[in-house]
Amino acid sequence: MVHYQAIVHGRVQGVGFRYFTQQEALKHNIKGTVRNLENGSVKIDAEGSREDMSAFIQAVKKGPMFSKVTDVELYELEETKQYTSFSIVY
């Protein structure tokens, strides 16, 4: 089990990015949260197997159709939070 925090930059608000992220998390068995940040980026807190996480991060870097991801800051964290689902935080 790995725990990553990602800050996604670009055109990622107002384009369905959080919903897309939640759908990809479900597809790849990832647990955690996604939320918009005040600076226009999106923060993802995610846990899963290393293999599933790799596929999930690749999908996030691509984003949904109307988004334009310019950068993803990725941090591997030591501690896991033991999430039971993946949710959008408002």
From the candidates 29, 36, 39, 50, give the one annotated as an active-site residue: 36
Q: pLDDT of 29-81, one tens digit each?
A: 999 999 999 999 999 999 999 999 999 999 999 999 999 999 999 999 999 99
pTM of the predicted model, to two decimals? 0.96
Contact 44, 34 (CB under 8 A): yes
Three-state SS at 28: coil
pLDDT, residue 82, reads 94
Terminal CA-to-CA distance of the chain, rounded, Å? 26
The pLDDT assigned to 60 comes to: 98
Per-residue pLDDT tens for 32-41? 999 999 999 9
39 is catalytic: no
Q: From the candidates 11, 18, 29, 50, which is the catalytic residue?
A: 18
- Is the alpha carbon torsion for 60, 72, 49, 2 positive or negative? negative
CA-based nearest residue to 85, from 47, 35, 57: 47
- Which residues have a Cβ under 8 Å from the Cβ of 39 and sit 6 or more positions away? none
| pLDDT band per the 50, 70, 90 thresholds, residue 12 | very high
